[in-house]
Structure 1
Amino acid sequence: MNTTKHRHSGTRRRPITRPIAAAALGATLLTGCQQANQSLFIGDMSSAYNREIWWMSVWAIVLSIIIFVGVSYALFYTVQKFREDRHDAPPAQFHGNNRLEVILVAVPVIIVFGLSILTVRSMAILNPTPEQATKIDVLGKQFWWNFAYPETTSDAGGVVTNGNEMIMPTKQPVALTITSGDVIHGFWAPNIGGQRAAMPAVQKTWQVDTERAGAYQGNCSQLCGASHANMRYKVVALDQERYDATLAAMKAYRAPEPDPGSAEARGYALFMQGKSSTGAVSCAACHRVQGTPAGGVAGPDLSFFGTRRTLGAGMWEAMTAAKWEDPKAAKQLSDWLKNSPRVKPGSLMPTYDGSEYRNTKGELVKGGTLTDAEIDDIAAYLRSLQLPEEADYWRDSPAIGAGATGGNQ
């Protein structure tokens, strides 16, 4: 509003609502506009990593306050004592004050030296990963995450992996080894520890932890392309007994064989073979499903999709008991299968409504077509890929930091 009420000496005042709106926008961007409105919190003291960083930060904050008070006192004292109206005589001339110069150099050196000692101490505590730490390999790609458990080999063959949802135990260190399959990404789940860059052809290992069971939010913290803001994931921390049981179920898991003639059976055939008559490529070319011939690595592992509660790397969440059977969630899944690049910019997944999309080589190609009924059959097959009920890691896992709009299990 450009009214006289908002003017003062020819200068337009900024409405007070603007900074408030900017702060609200920043909070929205930080939480990624999620359905569950789940927030990130770097001050979560349930993580030993965060506690160590916090106590190191306390020293820095205290020293900053002391420096601010000291400099402010010196400034105001000097201005007050040597005011022009109190001193008519010309100021005394001297070459320099050696003692003052030594103090001005020595004090910052001592402060920096002390902070360096605290920083090196914290790095020595946090950087090494204990041998007994639970090992998880993290792969970041545009625009999704894959989590592999290198010490657990599936009975059906291959290492146990899960797409976009990381399961970890509580009350012990977890060694994450992270890398990227394309560009630089940033792995950041602040409730369980610090962030690390995921770089192509480079593997970095560090430890995270939490003492509190629950589901935590994770985001990509490095601008990595069109859907950087849509590259999210969940960390589900389980008590040791539940974690061991869940991992054992993942190890023994084999995708169920659909009943002949069922929607799941028709979806399985389309998933594995596609539909050559309409140019629809198979899902198995890019995705892995444990216990089936599907072994693709270009996309996230879908072995436990029916148990998962996130879709499109956290773009949508099915936080209800019905999960992907819920009408709203089912609609989101259908839209995703038909044309994921339309709902998630930069997605390299093929389209199944005949529209064009960019393949993994960056080429613009025409997608195949599937009917709505065929899309529903694929969705039915995906929903059938569930761990046993006792191994459902989302069961009774509260969403830490979720707002009142949803997110609790």
Structure 2
Amino acid sequence: MNTNHHQTPGQSRFRRVRRVLPLALTGLAATLLTGCQQVRQSLTIGDLSSGYNREIFWMSVWAIALSIIIFIGVSYALFYTVNKFREDKHDAPPAQFHGNNRLEVILVVVPVIIVVFLSVLTVRSMARLNPNINADTQNINVLARQFWWNFSYPEAAAAAGGVVSNGNEMIMPTRQKVALTITSGDVIHGFWAPNIGGQRAALPAVKKTWQVDIDRAGAYQGNCSQLCGASHANMRYKVVALDQDRYNTFVTAASAYRAPEPAPGSAEARGYTLFMQGKTETGALACAACHRVQGTPAAGAAGPDLSFFGTRRTLGAGMWEAMTAEHWEAADAKVRLHEWIKHSPLVKPGSLMPTYDGSEYRVNGKVQKGGVLTDAEIDDVAAYLRTLQLPEEADYWKGTQIQGAPQGGTQ
């Protein structure tokens, strides 16, 4: 006897959808969390190591509990009424209760009490999460631009001039309130590192201050949460939370930091010259026109601060991460850095960094012609960048737990 059943076209399509749907939903979730780009570290929502998240969690517990009570109460009243006054049990028309003052008072007073109660909880949480800034609070200024971040420390004066700052990696202490003053240099961006707090808008020409904190040391993922252009999904950053002693060591070393002087005739020295002066005969612009390197004439503000580039573990605002033991000395990391310097707009759409392979790029809608550096010259610039390192004791990545990474581990 033949037990095979022929499937209709509709049944066949249904089976295919049923097989594909779970995979599609998984892909969608990954896309929403990572911004259409595979990353080594995921966002973590609801981390109770943060005072902000703890406050929101307990306020949410009350709201969810009341929602459940209301749902159960309304459901009980509905099923009770439907069952008691079923048509097959009652032939007479139902009694009217218009003018039942007691019922009307209950229907008004109970929701008002619930709304007032939740309002009080909300106002209390807002007061706790936005307290007055005091002398013990660590201040960090956050600048968002297409498509990168810069973090500066107004209370940490640099011996070489200006203040300590770092591009795309924010260093903060644990178990201490940190006041973030956030602004934007172009369009609206969104500052969001879920482990340390909620989303905050970075607005052009507006500075807003809010507080964050976290009890657990580690490296956390941050993303831009406001659609801001072609590389919105590539506008990431890291938050590295250090215990107080390590944080103090970082601030002290960063304040005293001066970029090392390359040995004469070395690849680093040739890269330093190109970084500071460019190459006028081929139209290659100087990197120093847009970037700052502490302790050198480079004082540009159009790009992220590169003073500690060799210590950093991210490139292109977190597009790539050098998390191996060799860091920027690893072969694949060198390739990434070379490609980034050579043609940044190609590897990161919308990047305003000039090209160094002679190709065209756009700045504010205008087509610009890039200069030319040879591959050897680009490698020289990369070699110089890799020398820009903090002292080993101030390396904030060393021994730091990577929170949210698939394999975990420390650096």
Q: Could you say which TM-score interval applies, normalised by the shorter chain?
A: over 0.9
Is 1:207 matched up with 2:221?
no
Q: Distance in 2 between matches of 1:258 and 1:85?
A: 95
Q: Which secondary structure state, in structure 2, belongs to the residue aligned with residue 187 of structure 1?
A: strand
Amino acid at match of 1:320: T
Q: Which secondary structure state, in structure 1, belongs to the residue aligned with residue 70 of structure 2?
A: helix
Is 1:303 matched up with 2:307?
yes
Amino acid at match of 1:183: V
Q: Distance in 2 between matches of 1:14 and 1:115?
A: 43
Structure 2 matches for 1:5-20, cutoff 5 A? 7=11, 14-15=17-18, 17-20=20-23
Q: Which secondary structure state, in structure 1, belongs to the residue aligned with residue 170 of structure 2?
A: strand
Deviation of residue 7 (structure 1)? 3.3
Identity %: 75
Deviation of residue 167 (structure 1)? 0.4
> TM-score, normalising length from structure 2?
0.94
- Identify the residue that residue 140 of structure 2 maps to in structure 1: 136
Structure 2 matches for 1:372-383, cutoff 5 A? 372-383=375-386
Q: Distance in 2 between matches of 1:104 and 1:307?
A: 63
Q: Residues 375, 213 of structure 1: CA spacing in aligned structure 2 closer, same or farther, 3 A cutoff?
A: same
Range with bigger deviation, 52-61 or 295-304: 52-61
Unaligned runs of 5+ in 1: none
Aligned partners of 1:130 and 1:173 also within 8 Å: no
> TM-score, normalising length from structure 1?
0.94
Is 1:237 matched up with 2:246?
no
- Identify the residue that residue 125 of structure 1 maps to in structure 2: 128
Q: Which secondary structure state, in structure 2, belongs to the residue aligned with residue 7 of structure 1?
A: helix
Q: Distance in 1 between matches of 2:284 and 2:215?
A: 47
Q: Distance in 2 between matches of 1:313 and 1:407?
A: 22
> C-alpha deviations, 1:158-192, integer Å up to 9, x for none?
01100000000111111111011011111111111
Q: Distance in 2 between matches of 1:33 and 1:317?
A: 16
Aligned partners of 1:35 and 1:407 also within 8 Å: no
- Identify the residue that residue 76 of structure 2 maps to in structure 1: 73
Q: How many residues align?
A: 404
- Identify the residue that residue 386 of structure 1 maps to in structure 2: 389
List structure 1 runs of 4+ shifted beyond 4 angstroms.
10-14, 32-36
Q: Residues 400, 252 of structure 1: CA spacing in aligned structure 2 closer, same or farther, 3 A cutoff?
A: same
- Identify the residue that residue 167 of structure 1 maps to in structure 2: 171
Q: Distance in 1 between matches of 2:16 and 2:342?
A: 49
Q: Which secondary structure state, in structure 2, belongs to the residue aligned with residue 229 of structure 1?
A: helix
Is 1:332 matched up with 2:345?
no
> C-alpha deviations, 1:62-97, integer Å up to 9, x for none?
111111111111111122122222222233345454
Range with bigger deviation, 10-19 or 168-177: 10-19
Deviation of residue 30 (structure 1)? 1.0
Q: Which secondary structure state, in structure 2, belongs to the residue aligned with residue 149 of structure 1?
A: strand
Match of 1:312 among 313, 316, 339: 316
Amino acid at match of 1:348: L
Q: Distance in 1 between matches of 2:271 and 2:238?
A: 27
Aligned partners of 2:398 and 2:410 also within 8 Å: no
Match of 2:8 among 4, 20, 23: 4
> C-alpha deviations, 1:189-230, integer Å up to 9, x for none?
111112211101111111111111110111111111111111
Range with bigger deviation, 180-189 or 68-77: 68-77
Range with bigger deviation, 160-169 or 101-110: 101-110
- Identify the residue that residue 225 of structure 1 maps to in structure 2: 229
Q: Which secondary structure state, in structure 2, belongs to the residue aligned with residue 145 of structure 1?
A: strand
- Identify the residue that residue 403 of structure 1 maps to in structure 2: 406
Range with bigger deviation, 217-226 or 27-36: 27-36
Q: Which secondary structure state, in structure 1, belongs to the residue aligned with residue 220 of structure 2?
A: strand
Match of 1:57 among 57, 60, 66: 60
Aligned partners of 1:35 and 1:316 also within 8 Å: no
Unaligned runs of 5+ in 2: 1-6
- Identify the residue that residue 280 of structure 1 maps to in structure 2: 284
